[in-house]
Amino acid sequence: MSTNAASKEAPPGDAPVTIRVSGVSKIYGDFVAVNDISFSVRKGTVAAFLGPNGAGKSTTMKMLTGYLAPTKGSIEILGKNPGDHGARLELARRLGYLPENGPLYLDMTPAELLAFYAEVRQLGSVNKAIDRVVAQCAIQDVFHKPIGKLSKGYRQRVGMAQALLSDPDVLILDEPTSGLDPLQIREVRKLIRELGEQKTILLSTHILQEVEAVADSVIMIHEGRLVFEGSFEELDEDGDGDIERRFYALAGAPLDDEEDEDEDEHESEAN
Amino acid sequence: MDFNVVKAIARRELSSYLGNPAGYVFLTLFIAATGAGAFLQEGFFARNLADLALLNKVMPAILMLFVPAVTMGVWAQERRLGTDELLLTMPVRDTEVVLGKYFGALGVFTVGLGFSVAHVLVLRWLGQPDLGLMLSTYLGYWLIGATFVAIGLLASMFAGNATVAFILGALGCAGMVFAGTEPWASGIVGCAVFAGLISLLWTAVQGNTEGAGLLGLIGAVVGVLVWLGGAWKGFEEAFGKLGVDQHFYGFGEGVVRLGDVVFFIGIAAVVLYLCVFMLGRRHW
């Protein structure tokens, strides 16, 4: 494994808390998707929301954006409750969100899509904002092509551009590197690291190496429960350097899982 | 409420529809169907009158099928792509999203209706239609469409996919087309309204849709008992008032009654309110 983490600055311990989740649960009928989780993310931090598929990461992120309301517990982002009707609108202006699988209107071009979201967001300097995100996400080449004809990698970048459009203080990214090729993964991670210097970013992933590459802190959930919160180094509890073993132990999966091996291969290419 | 947001969403909806070849196929079919309704019916030339009286008889039935075809994809498409989540986490109110979608779909319908003005040109070529009458007739068509677009939008929000949205929307519009035509038809529509209201109330009280189908069935049975049991003498008459025909009749005669205009706009407003309610359901 590479150690990009070593080049990162230490997370600012005294920075104000931007995202605070306290005792949050989401229950659908008999199914408990998220079970009493609490964590916080400080300003200027890239926090990785780690966990196997189906752990409850996306549900938690949907609650953070105000799309879903928690069954129990409270959420505070920038001091406001996203579930509160009045506060949600104000909060939504300062929040960028990339939902899982980067959903986009396939009949539009990136140019039309970004103009549409800029209008919906009531941005003042639309052209400037669009120029900025187009450069940040490197989508100049496909700017006037229908999104339906773009590759997965480009679509994901258009999704990122959409999330960055309002230059938000908080970014919530649900699996931002899924479906990208190794080179694109590296570019997106670089962008996230750059953005993380100014903004608060919570990104979800089920890939351990991603955490090491971009994150200052780790929040790990498994089967809806919080199983770890701390720095990447703290994940290596016994100091033997075998973080992977700890990860799989927390995720309750055997180390020789075939799928995980595939991901490891994929990841080592990316790094 | 911010009308710029409503405008942005409506414009996207309209351009998405009109930028798609399927949209033009629907528009062409609409013109063909209304053209056939106006001129290809027995008696058009025998009557020797340059008017749209024959089309007026079949227009509600044409709209009952055409409008849900326009609205079926409005919400189902968003849900399929997952873009609804993105849109609803923007700084927008649920009301703005519903109105934006509504005006977008209404815009598509208005474009279709606009093209069908060609029929009036044909009438002018054949004879001398009364332009005031044509204007009131078209206002009537537009108001029926405005009500049906709201019903279709609600169906699109209820249904998981476009096909079910079309069927539900067409059924909802059919209720309004057939109510008031025959006492038994009004009775059936009344039972359907009972079923819908009770399952909606159940959903609102309980916080989720579990068991809403069963409650709907119970509502329908209650409706049948009230209707046929004779507990409410004016049952058929009351629900017969929901019929489109009697409210459209005046427009077709060149008379614009305020009560009829209020009826169409009122039904659309109530249904749009239910759409906002449906959107808020995700928070439960």
Element at A189 (helix H, strand E): helix A182-196
The closest CB to that of A107, out of B5, B19, B284, belongs to B19
Go through chain A and tell me how many residues it has: 271
Contacts of B86 in chain A (CB under 8 A): 97, 99, 103, 162
What DSSP string describes A118-171? HHHTT-SSHHHHHHHHHHHHT-GGGTTS-GGGS-HHHHHHHHHHHHHTT--SEE
Q: Does A81 touch chain B (CB under 8 A)?
A: no
Q: What is the pLDDT of residues B6-38, one digit of tens each?
A: 999 999 999 988 888 888 888 899 999 999 988
Decide: A218 and A48 in contact? Cβ < 8 Å: yes
What residues in B contact A66, CB-CB < 8 Å? 89
| A to B CB pairs, distance under 8 Å | 69
Convert the pLDDT of each residue in B95-115 to its tens digit.
Answer: 999 999 999 999 999 999 999
**A chain contacts of residue B97, beta-carbon cutoff 8 Å:** none
Cβ partners under 8 Å of residue A105, min gap 6:
A113, A116, A147, B12, B16, B81, B83
pLDDT at position B207 over 80: no
| pLDDT above 90 (res B256) | yes
What is the phi/psi pair of residue B110, to 5°?
A: -65, -40
The ipTM assigned to this model is: 0.86
Q: Which of B5, B75, B86 should be substituted to probe chain A, the one whose Cβ sees the most A Cβ atoms within 10 Å?
A: B86
The pTM score is 0.88
Helix ranges (DSSP H) in chain B: 3-18, 21-39, 44-47, 53-81, 83-88, 94-115, 118-126, 131-158, 162-178, 183-206, 212-228, 235-240, 244-252, 258-280
Q: Which residues are CB-contacts of A191 (< 8 A; sequence separation ≥ 6)?
A: A136, A137, A160
For chain A, the structural domain boundaries read: 14-94+168-263, 102-162
Which residues numbered 183-222 in B keep a CB inside 8 Å of some CB on A? 208, 210
Distance, in angstroms, between A248 CA and closest chain B CA?
31
Looking at beta carbons, which residues of chain B come within 8 Å of A117?
90
Which of B7, B85, B282 is the best substitution to test chain A (most A C-beta atoms within 10 A)? B85
| pLDDT (0 to 100) of residue A241 | 65
Query: Which tokens is B40 given?
Result: 């290809």
B28–A contact, CB cutoff 8 A? no
Question: In a structure prediction context, what are the per-residue pLDDT tens digits for chain A, which is 271 residues long?
Answer: 344 444 444 445 678 888 999 999 999 878 899 999 999 999 989 999 988 888 889 999 999 998 988 999 999 999 999 888 888 889 999 999 999 888 999 999 999 999 999 999 999 888 999 999 999 888 999 999 999 999 888 899 999 999 999 999 999 999 998 878 888 888 889 889 988 888 999 999 888 888 888 888 999 998 889 988 988 778 776 666 677 777 777 777 654 444 444 444 444 444 4
B9 contacts chain A (CB < 8 A): yes
What is the rounded distance in angstroms from the CA atom of residue B36 to the CA atom of residue B23?
A: 20
Nearest Cα of chain A lies from the Cα of B254 at a distance, in angstroms, of 41
Q: Check whether B226 has a pLDDT greater than 70.
A: yes
Count of positions (residues) in chain B: 284
B282/A68 Cβ within 8 A: yes
B89 contacts in chain A (CB < 8 Å): 65-67, 92, 95, 97, 99
| CB A131 within 8 Å of CB A88 | no
* Strand A72-77 to A217-222 pairing: unpaired
> From the CA of A266, how many Å to the nearest CA of chain B?
27
B21 contacts chain A (CB < 8 A): no
Cα angle at A222 between A219 and A228, to 5 degrees? 35
pLDDT for B208 equals 67
User: What CATH code would you report for A14-94+168-263?
Assistant: 3.40.50.300
Are A103 and B88 a contacting pair at CB < 8 A? no
Angle in degrees, CA A264, A265, A268, rounded to 5? 80
Nearest CA of chain B to the CA of A95: how many Å?
A: 9
